[in-house]
Amino acid sequence: MSIMANKKILSFIRVVLIVIVLVIAIMPLGMTSGAQVFLSLVLIVAGLLMFAILLHAATKPETELVADERVTRVNEKAGNSAFWLVLVSITVLFWSDRAWQIGIELVDLYYAAMVVGTISWSVFRWHYSRKGDVV
C-alpha cells in the first residue's frame, strides 16, 4: 500500500501538521515583541490556509488527486527552467555587487531567489501547460 495512494493516511498527516503549526503559532502571542507577534500571525494564516487546502483536497475524488504524465512533465520542465532562471539572476546580482559594490547582502540574495523562483515557476508552469506539447 503506497502512502501517496492512501488518502486517509495523507489527510491524517496534513491534519497533524496543521495542528502543530497552529500550536507553535499561538504559543508566543502573549509576548510583546512585534516581530514575534507578526511571525505568530503569519504562522496562523499559514495553518488556516493549509486547513482550507486540506478541505479542498478531501472533497475531491481520489482519481483527481493523482497527477497524470503530462502534468508531471509540465511541473518538471517548469522547475528546471525556474532553477536556471534563479541561478542566472543570483549570479548576475552577485557579480554586479562584486563589480560595483552595491552593498547587496546575503539576506537580499535569499529573498531575491525566493521571489524569482516562486514567480518564475508559476509563470513557466502556466506557459508550458498552455503550450500543449512538452518535450
Q: Are residues 59 and 73 in the same domain?
A: no
Q: What is the pLDDT of residue 113?
A: 92
- At what angle are helices 106-131 and 69-100 packed, to 10 degrees? 150
Q: Are the CB atoms for 74 and 128 separated by under 8 Å?
A: yes
Domain count, the chain: 2
Domain end marker among 41, 65, 89:
65
Q: What is the pLDDT of residues 106-125, one digit of tens each?
A: 888 888 899 999 999 999 99
SS (H, E, C) 85-124: HHHHHHHHHHHHHHHHCCCCCHHHHHHHHHHHHHHHHHHH
pTM: 0.56
Distances (CA, A) of 79 to 72, 82, 85: 11, 5, 10
Residue 2 predicted with pLDDT over 60: no
Q: Are residues 11 and 52 in the same domain?
A: yes
Q: Are residues 56 and 73 in the same domain?
A: no
Mean pLDDT of all residues in the chain?
Answer: 79
Q: What is the pLDDT of residues 49-94, one digit of tens each?
A: 877 777 777 777 766 666 688 888 999 999 999 999 999 999 999 9
